Chains A and B, each alone.
Chain A
Amino acid sequence: MIYNIVFVILFILGLYTVLVKKSMIKMVIGLNIMESAIFFWVISLSNTGNLIPILQTYMEEKAVNDPVPQALILTGIVIGASTTAFLLTLIIELKKLGGSINLDHIKGLSE
């Protein structure tokens, strides 16, 4: 319930940043906020109020949270970091070629 509300707020904020802001760096920040919202939401699905899925001993009753979404999100975080680094590299090149990272002032893009 509360997880869904927080997910929707974060996702909408990220989407608003991507759609409205003119600076490329702010767009990357918005994409990262959307990404984090999805990670947060999938992790919240695995939360059933039990222990974390890291056992201390051989336990008799295995009342732990679902480990599968957590493994999936670990993959997602790594891929998100890679794509963010690549996007920032492309922005560095754009600054060099177009003279600006603002969408209104890039040479050769407007008009």
Chain B
Amino acid sequence: MRKFIVMFLLVFLGIFLYFNLSYLPAEKMISNNVSQHYINSGVKETGSFNLVTAILFDYRAFDSLGESTIIFAAVSGIVLILSRKTLPVSSHGLTFIVKRTLGLLTPFIFLFSIYLMTHGHLSPGGGFQGGVILATISIIFCIVYGSEFDQKKFSPQTKTKLETGGALLFILMGILGVIFENGFLDNLNLFNGEPGSLISAGNIPVINLGIGLKVGAGLAIIFYSMIQKTFGEETDH
């Protein structure tokens, strides 16, 4: 009975939502001045062909710094809640076929994540996407080879160092902008090659690399904390 009342109300809400949305001027979004400026002179001002990356890491780089702080806060909270003194119990991993196949594939996954991070100003991708793919390597180690293997290869201390290192690289780029250019996180003129080549667009590739390391290590830490608890509970029964 309660289900039907909720369903009835939600159908009414959906109809009202649809008629309100259809009054919005969707086509006029493009004609505002900020977007037009980014499209017209984005490449000239930043050297990045990917305009989304140009907005994220040059015009609005300070917002991206806050965004990476949010990831840091989430990782801190999760580790604080799920922290446990005992070492994780290793699973045995999957079969021989899976282990050999992923042993061949893992270097290419790593290469793909590095490609996405360093080509963020030229093609779709960037630090966040590359970092998520980087985190899958740690997850593959944990599931396929057992969590003991993962702990041996990337210890939690290494992951913490990578995460703080990425964040510090970002902030260092900001402070270099204060010293050499006009303000915090202003684009540097150090690596300004021809736009469209790999070494161009100032400090955008460096910031992408830092963000990628930070996101990858952060997601790996989240997965590590969760899997630790799960394996521990299985042995209790």
Contact = CB atoms under 8 A, between A and B. Distances in A.
Interface of A: 1, 4-5, 7-9, 11-12, 15-16, 19-20, 41, 44-46, 48, 52-58, 62, 64-71, 74-75, 77-79, 82-83, 85-86, 88-90, 92-93, 96
A85 B67 contact: no
B81 A7 contact: no
20 contacts: A4-B21, A8-B14, A8-B18, A12-B11, A12-B13, A12-B17, A19-B10, A55-B51, A64-B51, A65-B30, A67-B55, A68-B35, A71-B55, A74-B126, A83-B74, A86-B78, A88-B226, A89-B81, A90-B81, A92-B226
B98 interface: no
Interface residues of B, number: 54
Given A68-B38, A71-B56, A92-B229, A78 B67 contact: yes
Contacts of B7: 16
B124 A54 contact: yes
Contacts of B10: 12, 15-16, 19
B68 to A, nearest CB: 8
Contacts of B128: 74, 77-78
Nearest to A5: B18
Contacts, number: 124
A64 B54 CA distance: 15
Nearest to A13: B10
B199 interface: no
A77 B196 CA distance: 27
A78 B72 CA distance: 12
B39 A85 contact: no
